[in-house]
Homo-oligomer: A and B are copies of this chain.
Amino acid sequence: MDGRVHLDNPHLNKEGQNDILYHIGLSKSHGLKKLFSDLRFVCMGGTPARMEAFARYIKTELGIELPTGADIYDIAGLGQRYAMFKVGPVLSVSHGMGAPSASILLHEVLKLLMYAECENVIVIRIGTSGGIGVEPGSVVVSSGILTDLLEETHEFHVLGKVVKRPMTLDRNLAESIRAAGHDAHPSFNTVLGKTMCANDFYEAQARVDGAICEYTLDDKMDFVKKLRDMGVVNIEMESSVFAALCAHTKVKFAMVCVTLVDRLEGDQILAPKALLEEFQDRPQKIVSAFIKRQLGLI
Contacts and interface: CB of A to CB of B under 8 A. Distances in A.
Interface of A: 7-12, 19-20, 22-23, 46-50, 78, 80-81, 96-101, 103-104, 106-108, 110-111, 114, 147-150, 156-163, 198-204, 206, 208-215, 217, 219-220, 223, 226, 237, 241, 245, 248-249, 268-270, 273
Given A203-B157, A206-B159, A211 B9 contact: yes
Contact of A211 (B106, B199, B212): B106
A92 to B, nearest CB: 15
21 contacts: A7-B211, A8-B213, A12-B209, A22-B268, A47-B80, A48-B80, A78-B273, A97-B98, A97-B101, A98-B100, A98-B103, A107-B202, A148-B157, A149-B162, A156-B204, A157-B204, A159-B203, A211-B245, A211-B249, A212-B245, A212-B249
A4 to B, nearest CB: 14
Contacts of A215: 158-159
Given A9-B211, A159-B206, 11 more contacts: A8-B212, A12-B209, A96-B98, A98-B98, A98-B103, A100-B101, A104-B201, A149-B162, A156-B200, A157-B203, A159-B215
